[in-house]
Structure 1
Amino acid sequence: MFIEVNDTTSLRQIQEVFSDFYPYLKLAFYGKGHKKYQASNEGGEIEPNTLIGEIKATHVSGVIEMLPLYKVADVEKEFQQRFGLSVQVLRKEKKGWEQTTGMDDFTLKELNELGRNSSDEFIMNEDVRNDLEY
């Protein structure tokens, strides 16, 4: 998967392309970076409709590639190094999204699968609960 990044790209556009390929993962953008295995500041998330040109100090356009075997830490690092964007990969966890702290050495494929399994288990549990109520 390739994502074009330039000053007129919104964070939401990047998120949507990413989520099309990894439906159980999500990218969140923050005002401050984080170190490997650390969480990003919950209150520091940047609004998804923000354009890249509004938040970047350097105005470099490019294309970022994210293959299934790329590690989470490498994806986050590449966004930071190439585009000056602080990114956190989030994983679907039952009804919400969870930061992937401690999972930076997982591949996108592995993490997406974990999110899928979590969501499938929740759906199955919901179906079982609904059956028990009747």
Structure 2
Amino acid sequence: MTLLINKEQLISELQQAFNTAYPFLKIELFAPKHGLPPGPADQGRLPGNLSLQEVSPHLPDGVVDLPETMRIQELEDIFSDRYGLHLQVFRKSGNLWLETTMTANWTLKLQNEHGREISC
């Protein structure tokens, strides 16, 4: 699966494309904190109606490959390094969405499968 990245794209459109590929995972974007990683889940979370250019003014258009073998940390690093976007992956757990910070070394496939097992 690949994600197309462009300046006019809304955060919600990026989220929807990701969630289509991995239905038991979701991504949230956060405002940068002077070069520090985002804080607790709701602090600095950006609304879905912002364009990617509003979040990262010098954002280049591009493509991000999302193989099942990609680790969560790799995905987060790509978005930060290439696009200046600070995102966090969450996994579905029943009716809740859990941060994957403790399992950032898991692959997208493993995270998604674990979310499916817990939620079904």
Is TM (by shorter chain) over 0.5? yes
Query: What is the distance in 1 between the residues matched to 2:43 and 2:59?
Result: 25
Q: Which residue of 2 aligns with 1:102?
A: 102
Q: Which residue of 2 aligns with 1:20?
A: 20
Query: What is the distance in 2 between the residues matched to 1:72 and 1:41?
Result: 16
Q: Which residue of 2 aligns with 1:86?
A: 86
AA matched with 1:55: V
Which of 34, 37, 59 in structure 2 is aligned with 1:34? 37
- Cα distance change, pair 7–72 in 1 and its aligned pair in 2 (3 A): same
3-state SS, counterpart of residue 88 of structure 2: strand
Q: Which residue of 2 aligns with 1:128?
A: none
3-state SS, counterpart of residue 76 of structure 1: helix
List structure 1 segments (4+ residues) > 4 angstroms apart after TM superposition: none
TM-score (norm 2): 0.91
* Aligned: 1:4 with 2:31: no
Q: Which runs of 5+ in 2 are unaligned?
A: none
| Cα contact 2:59–2:84 (8 A) shared by 1 | no
| Cα contact 1:6–1:61 (8 A) shared by 2 | yes
AA matched with 2:37: H
| Cα contact 1:80–1:87 (8 A) shared by 2 | yes
**Which structure is higher in helix share?**
1
In the TM superposition, what is the alpha-carbon distance from 1:41 to its structure 2 partner? 4.7
| Cα contact 2:41–2:99 (8 A) shared by 1 | no
TM-score (norm 1): 0.82
In the TM superposition, what is the alpha-carbon distance from 1:58 to its structure 2 partner? 1.6
Quick one: percent identity of the two aligned structures? 28
Aligned length: 117
In the TM superposition, what is the alpha-carbon distance from 1:34 to its structure 2 partner? 2.3
Q: Which residue of 2 aligns with 1:132?
A: none
AA matched with 1:97: W
Q: Which residue of 1 aligns with 2:113?
A: 113
Query: What is the distance in 1 between the residues matched to 2:40 and 2:82?
Result: 19
User: Pairwise CA RMSD of aligned residues?
Assistant: 1.4
3-state SS, counterpart of residue 7 of structure 1: coil
